[in-house]
Amino acid sequence: NNLPLGDVIQSAYQFNNKIYAVANNSSRIEILNQSNFTNETTINGFNSPRYFLPINNSKAYVTDLYSNSIQIVNLNSNSITGSINTNCWTEQLLLHNDTVYVCDMTNNNLLIINPANDNLIDSVKVGISPNSIIKDVNDKLWIMCSGGFQEDYPKLIRFNPKTRVIEATFVFPDVDESPSNLTTNNNKTELYYLNSNVYKMNINSAALPSSSLIKNNNNTFYGLGIDPVNGEIYVSDAIDYVQSGIIFRYSATGSLIHQFNVGVIPGSFLFL
C-alpha cells in the first residue's frame, strides 16, 4: 500500500469482504480489501477509536477512549455522521436482538443502546472496569471486569438481556488479578480468558476454574484468540512491550503446536 497502517492497531473487524482496522493513536480506521489487503479508503475524524461494530450495511458504531461518546459511521460515505454521548471511555461492544451493549470503563456500567434511533436507553452497574463482552449459545451475555488497578476484586458476570438482570457473578479471589480478553469457542459453549495464564470455563459451570488450561511459563500473555474452525488457541506474548512479540498456537486441549514471531505488542486476533 506504500503507507503505514497506523499507530496502535487496537482491533480489526471483518464485514462485507472488507477489514476495518482501528488505529487508536492515529485516530482513524483503515478499510482494507479482504482478498488482497489493499487499502480502499480511510475514515478520519476520531479521537482515540477502540472497537468497530457494524449495525447494518450502512451504519456502524465505534467506541472511543477519550471522546466521551460513541461515533456513528456511515458505511456508504465512510464518514462520521454523528455520535452518542456516553460521558465515558467505551470499550468492546456487541449487537444482540436489535440492541447494542457496550462496556463502560469509566463508570463501570453495561450501556444499552437502541440502534434504531441511536439513543442510550439504559445502563446496568457491573464490576469495575468491564473490558470485554461475549454472547453464549443461550443468548446470555458475559462481561469480564478486571477490577481496575487493585480497586476491587475482578468479576465475571452473566447478564440476561431479556430481563436486563445480572444472573450470576463470579468473583476472582485475588484483588491483584486482572483478567481480560474474554472470548468463546465457535459453538459458544466455552469461555476463555487471560489472567496471567489461559483459562477455560464452561458456560454452565457453577464456579470459576481452579486451574489454568495453559500456563504462561514466564511469558507475558497479552492477546487471546480461538480459531472458529478447529478450536485451536492462539496466545500472544508481548515480552517486554518493546521488542517484537511471539504467537503461540495450541491445540484445543492446550498442547503447544507451533510458535512464530510477529510485530511489537501483538494484542488481538482476527480469523478470516
pLDDT in tens, the chain (272 residues): 888 899 999 999 999 999 999 999 999 999 999 999 999 999 999 999 999 999 999 999 999 999 999 999 999 999 999 999 999 999 999 999 999 999 999 999 999 999 999 999 999 999 999 999 999 999 999 999 999 988 999 999 999 999 999 999 999 999 999 999 999 999 999 999 999 999 999 999 999 999 999 999 999 999 999 999 999 999 999 999 999 999 999 999 999 999 999 999 999 999 99
3-class secondary-structure state, position 249? strand
Burial class (CB in 10 A: 0-12, 13-18, 19+), 142: buried
Q: Which grid cell sits at 166?
A: 445480572
Which of 150, 101, 95 is closest to 126 using CA atoms?
101
Compute CA distances 241 → 52, 60, 152, 221, whole Å: 25, 31, 26, 11
